[in-house]
Amino acid sequence: MKVPFVDLKAQYLTIKGDIDSAIADVINETAFIGGKYVNNFEAEFAEKYGVKHCISVANGTDSLYIIMKMLGIGPGDEVITVANSWISTSETITQTGATPVFVDIDPVYYTINEDLIAAKISPKTKAILPVHLYGQVCDMNKIMQLAKDNGLFVIEDCAQSHFSTFAGQRAGTMGIAGSFSFYPGKNLGAYGDAGCIITNDDDLADKCKTFARHGAKIKHKHIMEGINSRLDGLQAAILSKKLPHILDWTQIRIEKAALYSRLLADVAEVVCPVVRPDTTHSFHLYVVKVQRRAALIDYLSAQGIDTAIHYPTSLPLLPAYDYLNYSAETIPVSHENQSQILSLPMYPELSDDAIEWVVNAIKSFYSAN
Ligand SMILES: *Cc1c(COP(=O)(O)O)cnc(C)c1O
C-alpha cells in the first residue's frame, strides 16, 4: 500500500463540483484581484473566528511581516520566538529590521518553553511571537501574562493551527493579531499561495490593509509606501468552498491522531504527541519521536510510506543565523529533538487501514532492528 505524506487530490475529489464551479465563476466574472470573492472570504473567515477583522494577504510569511511592521517593530528591536519553526517565523522578524531572540522548546509539547521567555526579555524586546506548531497551542495564559507585565505585543503564528483552541478560545484571537497561511498543504489550503491576518484592533487592521495594498486606501491616494500582498480571487473562491468543511476536517484529523496514538501505545521506541490540557490540537502534523530515525525512514519508504521532518535543523542552528552565535547548548531540547522527530502521514482522507499499515510497518521495523 502506498501512503503519501499528504494527498491533496483526495480532498479535491470530495468537493470537486463546488471547486470547479467556483473557479469557473471567478473566470467568467474576471474577478481576479480584489472584488466579491476576496471580500466574501474575509468576511466568512472573520465570522468563523468571531473577530472584527480579517485582512487577506498573499501568503503566511507576508502576514507575519505586515503585522510586525505595522506594529512599528523595526531596527534596534527584539522579538522573542521559538527555536523550532518554519523559517518564515524568524525571517520576517529580520525583514522588519528587528532581531529574533530564540527560546528553546518545551520537552513535552514541543512549542516554545514559556518558562524560559522571561529571562530573554530585555529593554529592546517589543513582542513575543509564539508558534502553535503542528496544531498544538502554546500556553497562552503564561504568554499573555508575560506580555502584559512587560508591555509587549503577542503575535500568534497560526500557520499550522487553524481552529486549534486554548481554554475555549481559538488560537489567533488571544494576541494582538493572528497570522495564517493557506499554503496548499496547510489544514485550510488554497490551490496556490495565500494567507491572512486576523485582529480585533481597528487601528492595526486599517494599517495592515493599507500597507498590503501599496499604502493606499483609495486608488492612487498613497498615504505611505506599502507592498503588494493580495489574495487573488481564485484562491479566495476556493477557500470559501473549503471553509464550511474545516471543523469536520479538523475533527477527523483529531480522530486519526488518536488512532495512531492508540496503535503506537505499546511501541517503546516511539513517543506519541501529548496534547496540552484544555486545548484542541488541530493536528496539522502528527509528530512522533523515534529511535534510529534514519533507518526507520528508509524502511518505511521502502514500504511506500512517506514521512517528513519538521524541522531537521533548529532555526538558530541554521547557517542563516550563524551571525547570532547560538550553539546547541543554548537550545538543548530543540537540538535533541531535531534528530528524533518524525512526521507521519496525516490528512483527513487518510484511511484507518493506511494508519494501521503505517503502524504495523513501524512495529516490524523495531522487532527486526
Ligand atoms: C507555512 C508556515 C508559515 C508561512 O506560510 P506561507 O504561506 O508558506 O508563507 C509561517 N509559519 C509557519 C509555522 C508555517 O508552518
pLDDT tens for 198-236 read 999 999 999 999 999 999 999 999 999 999 999 999 999
Whether the CB of 111 sits within 6 Å of ligand 1 = no
- CA 364 to CA 131: how far, in whole Å? 35
Taking only the tens place, the pLDDT of each residue in 276-296 is 999 999 999 999 999 999 999
Residue 30 pLDDT > 90: yes
pLDDT at 190 over 90: yes
Residue 284 CA, closest ligand 1 atom number = 15
- Per-residue pLDDT, 133: 98
- Distance between CA 95 and CA 65 in Å, rounded? 7
Percentage of the chain beyond pLDDT 70 is 100
120 Cα–ligand 1 center, Å? 24
Q: Is residue 136 in contact with ligand 1, taking CB distance under 6 Å?
A: no
What does the angle CA 297 – CA 301 – CA 302 come to, to the nearest 5 degrees? Answer: 120
Alpha-carbon gap, residue 83 to 20, rounded angstroms: 41
Contact in structure between 136 and 113 (CB atoms under 8 Å): no
Is 231 near ligand 1, meaning CB less than 6 Å away?
A: no
Q: Tell me, what's the pLDDT at 350?
A: 98
What is the band of 45 on the pLDDT scale with cuts at 50, 70, 90? Answer: very high
CA separation for the pair 253, 161 (Å, rounded): 12
Q: Are 288 and 300 in contact (CB under 8 A)?
A: no
Binned at pLDDT 50, 70 and 90, residue 369 comes out as confident
Distances (CA, A) of 31 to 39, 60, 364: 11, 22, 53
> Which residues face 100 on adjacent strands?
79
Place 150 in a pLDDT band, splitting at 50, 70 and 90.
very high
pLDDT in tens, 87-129: 999 999 999 999 999 999 999 999 999 999 999 999 999 999 9
Which atom of ligand 1 lies at the shortest distance from residue 193's CA? 7
Name the residue of 181, 187, 232, 310 whose CB sits within 8 Å of the most ligand 1 atoms, as the mutation to test its pocket: 181
Q: What are phi and psi of 124, to 5 degrees?
A: -85, -10
pTM of the model: 0.98
What digits encode the pLDDT tens for the residues 242-266?
A: 999 999 999 999 999 999 999 999 9
- d(CA 179, CA 159) in angstroms, rounded, equals 7
pLDDT at 33 exceeding the cut of 90: yes
pLDDT in tens, 47-76: 999 999 999 999 999 999 999 999 999 999
Average pLDDT value for the chain: 98
